[in-house]
Amino acid sequence: MTVQETTSTQSVNNAGVDSPEALAYRAALDVIGAVEPAVADHIRGELGNQRSQLKLIASENYASPAVLLAMGNWFSDKYAEGTPGHRFYAGCEYVDKVERLAVDHAKALFGADYAYVQPHSGIDANLVAFWAILAHRVEAPFLVDHEAKHVNDLSATDWEELRQSFGNQRMIGMALNAGGHLTHGFRPNISGKLFDQRSYGVDHTTEMLDYDQVAATAREFKPLVLVAGYSAYPRKVDFAKMREIADEVGATLMVDMAHFAGLVAGGVFTGDFDPIPNAHIVTSTTHKSLRGPRGGIVLSNEADLVEFVDKGCPMVLGGPLSNVMAAKAVAFSEARQPEFKTYAQQVTDNAAALAEGIAKRGGRIVTGGTDNHLVLVDVQPFGLTGRQAESSLEAAGVIVNRNSIPFDTNGAWYTSGIRLGTPALTTVGMDTSDMDEVADIICGVLRSTEPVPTKAGEPSKAHFDLDDGVRNDQRARAAELLAQNPLYPTIGQL
């Protein structure tokens, strides 16, 4: 056992032994362990790992015991294709209740007229939205033109014409190395095979989103869909401006707010920066800054789009996961509490403190700072690739992911950057002074990491050497921070 594990173990050992969640998890692991002990062991192992590492993955968080427990029950056994009150299966009384509850919480939380809580993930939510837009803007007018009510009423020739026209539609989205996401029309993802896509990016000097380029690309390319949103852009986006551009060219504005949904829910992003009143349709995951279960959601205020969103299952989704919808209802209810606003503000304050702490220790922060929950660090000043930095930090108990930076010359596998996010560490209670300590740990590791050549003497973008003493010192400091801010303290040892 490492120093870090010992310390964080001790910190949770004395707490919460008889809390309801401690009793619930101990009983659950007994039940699971009686059937397959290895699974119970791996569940304990995962908790141990998460308690012994500084988690800075920008897309992860720690859901509450109530959210986690809502997923582990017999709702999992029920099929419920369709929508509440309109299912393809009998016996959905309580699934209907729990889905309606999640929908009502989501609508109130985000101030949206409509919410669809069935998507299993972010990619699913985006697929539902893409198909809703295609159905609304391509399929529905085609059916009217051909005096058909349903696609099954079309002749084989007409159906073939409609089918081809789905594939002829255009989309623009943020370039991957500017912080965009694969599901926004890139070739390795189904969205890139479905749509003819062009990207917009960031300014070479400021590394900020270039709205003039968005407008110019939109005017020239005339997309059906303008996608806004990101997974690695550290600044807020002016969605009112994006909507102006979309309206000018007749595009549907879709915002993927998966990364920053918690900041929207918590009131950090308002007005022009709130996607809900500005976009035609908004998608999200529910597990990142929003701190719910792993899953997706679609929101909209457009009455003529939502009837197609409701057809997401079985259009692109398998049967809804009722247990996860139950957990979404719990998480949305939590996010409606005043404490969540404090949490969301602290997430952004912590990100700003982390960026400042790294910058003052010699790191280069992409865009020079952050407005949201994430910090993108160019690790080239440390003489490293993103891959080397990620691995070296992991050895010291700091979990981050390597990430391309704008105009990256190291490709998407090795990269020149690391992406850091503060939602998880904020959940365990860390504040801006802790972020300065985290910045010192990170820079201490990166300064002491040396690239080393391969065995054949070739330069390597992956191999590195980290001094053992530095690694152990930084691990001990990370462990101390975790001991002061333990994860799931009321669950105790399992």
Cβ atoms of 166 and 138 closer than 8 Å: yes
Chain residues 96-125 in contact with ligand DSN, contact rule CB under 6 A: 122
**Nearer CB in complex with ligand DSN: 180/492:** 180
CB of 405 to ligand DSN, least distance (A): 15
User: Is the link from the previous residue into 314 a cis peptide, with omega within 30 of 0?
Assistant: yes
Chain residues 304-333 in contact with ligand DSN, contact rule CB under 6 A: none
Q: Pattern 23-62, binding to ligand DSN, x per CB under 6 A? A: ------------------------------------x---
Q: Pattern 127-166, binding to ligand DSN, x per CB under 6 A? A: ----------------------------------------
List residues with catalytic annotation: 79, 81, 256, 285, 288, 294
Does residue 318 sit in helix, strand or coil? coil
Local structure of residue 77 (DSSP, 8 states): G
Selection from 449, 452, 387 nearest residue 417 by Cα:
387
Give the alpha-carbon dihedral of 183, 187, 193, 196, to 10 degrees: 90
**Nearer CB in complex with ligand DSN: 122/293:** 122
Chain residues 168-187 in contact with ligand DSN, contact rule CB under 6 A: 181
Q: Helix crossing, 37-51 with 3-13: angle to 10°? A: 100
Selection from 402, 468, 466, 400 nearest residue 438 by Cα:
400
**Nearer CB in complex with ligand DSN: 122/397:** 122
Does residue 470 sit in helix, strand or coil? helix
CB of 234 to ligand DSN, least distance (A): 13
Helix %, strand %, coil % of the chain (to 5) = 50, 15, 35
**Nearer CB in complex with ligand DSN: 59/392:** 59
> Of residues 4, 126, 199, 231, which one binds ligand DSN by CB under 6 A?
231
Rounded to whole angstroms, how far apart are CA atoms 435 and 301? 38
Q: Any contact of residue 126 with ligand DSN (CB under 6 A)?
A: no
CB of 122 to ligand DSN, least distance (A): 6
Q: Would you call 55 exposed, middle or buried from its count of C-beta atoms within 10 A (0-12, 13-18, 19+)? A: buried
Q: Any contact of residue 11 with ligand DSN (CB under 6 A)?
A: no
Nearest residue to ligand DSN on Cβ basis = 59
Does residue 363 sit in helix, strand or coil? coil
Rounded to whole angstroms, how far apart are CA atoms 8 and 484? 8
Q: Any contact of residue 191 with ligand DSN (CB under 6 A)?
A: no
Judged by the rule CB under 6 A, the positions of this chain that interact with ligand DSN are 59, 122, 181, 231
